[in-house]
A = this chain, B = another copy of it.
């Protein structure tokens, strides 16, 4: 088992990574302070892992579970309310711990429910997708979508523990594995050039689900993200580099309707847009955008805008993105692979040209 610590003062917590972890009681009993637990999962994950987790929780006084519908389309206040319904119907008090068993949607909603239930209860993440293991389970961003924007309602809320059972990746559909790799590639792009090179050399092993390669990629991604988050927990500055490709990606998700493109797929195309914009600005070369495109191709990820989206769709959607501050669009661009910077002065013409370079009409 590998472990690393996310350093956030009195909100610090460990991430444990290894095979078979979600069935081992000790990890839960060590981290959970109360005697009540609610496992939040979804209809896809429940048949695969819920029984195993409930067995590992046998020692607690009150063990309940709730199954949410699967998918980003259900990441809403209404679905969130189902978690509150269960907590109240089953009379969970302030000492309860919410355990998120599932991907990013389950994690984001469970974490937000934990942040809000009785103004805050404990929270453990058991992410079961590559995307949630390397991204959403680290850093404390929780929340739900609004019809007018993604993740617009939420909280910064840290878990007591993140338990990454690498075995769960064996049941992950190919498309979701690839979507998770988009965020893995992102860490290489924004702050870890040696990791980017490692990914260029090891993408085949990752797609073949080689456990050692996956463990390494997950651990290195978590460590990269944890370092950025430790510097700037509430995203007042540098943490925003983690949004590389995301402002474009959110526009794709919002316009296409949540769930049609997977988050990682939208981010993949968004990273190419941000890279092209960096190139147009004269910061990186065409060689570097090509390396990104080649790695994404290897990972079976898109690099182009959805065919039916026009430039104006992006401009409109991006103007309500959270990265807008006092009316200025803030984007993450690259000086080199591994060296990102936040800018607020993108000329509209360059933005349009970058979008066109990625197929937006």
Contact = CB atoms under 8 A, between A and B. Distances in A.
Given A93-B322, A120-B155, A153-B117, A148 B81 contact: no
A312 interface: no
**How many chain copies does the complex carry?**
2
A326 interface: yes
A77 B88 contact: no
CB-based closest 5 A-B pairs: A88-B148, A93-B324, A119-B154, A116-B153, A118-B322
A307 interface: no
Given A93-B322, A326-B93, A118 B152 contact: yes
Interface size on A, as a range, is 35 or more
Interface string A75-93: 0010011001100110101
A319 B93 CA distance: 9
Interface in A236-260: none
B88 A326 contact: no
A2 interface: no
A220 to B, nearest CB: 27
Given A35-B326, A93-B322, A116-B143, 15 more contacts: A36-B326, A81-B146, A84-B153, A85-B146, A85-B148, A88-B148, A89-B148, A91-B320, A115-B155, A116-B154, A118-B152, A119-B141, A119-B151, A119-B155, A120-B155
A34 interface: yes
A149 interface: yes
Contact of A319 (B85, B91, B320, B326): B91
Nearest to A156: B119
A118 B155 CA distance: 8
A139 to B, nearest CB: 11
A322 B152 contact: no
The majority secondary structure among interface residues of chain A is: mixed
Contacts of A117: 152-153
A327 B94 CA distance: 10
B146 A88 contact: yes
A317 to B, nearest CB: 12
Contact of A94 (B84, B85, B120, B325): B325
A143 B118 CA distance: 9
Contacts of A146: 81, 84-85, 88
Contact of A88 (B84, B118, B320): B320
Contacts of A170: none
17 contacts: A81-B146, A84-B146, A84-B153, A89-B148, A93-B320, A93-B324, A93-B325, A93-B327, A94-B325, A116-B155, A117-B152, A117-B153, A119-B143, A119-B155, A119-B234, A119-B322, A120-B155
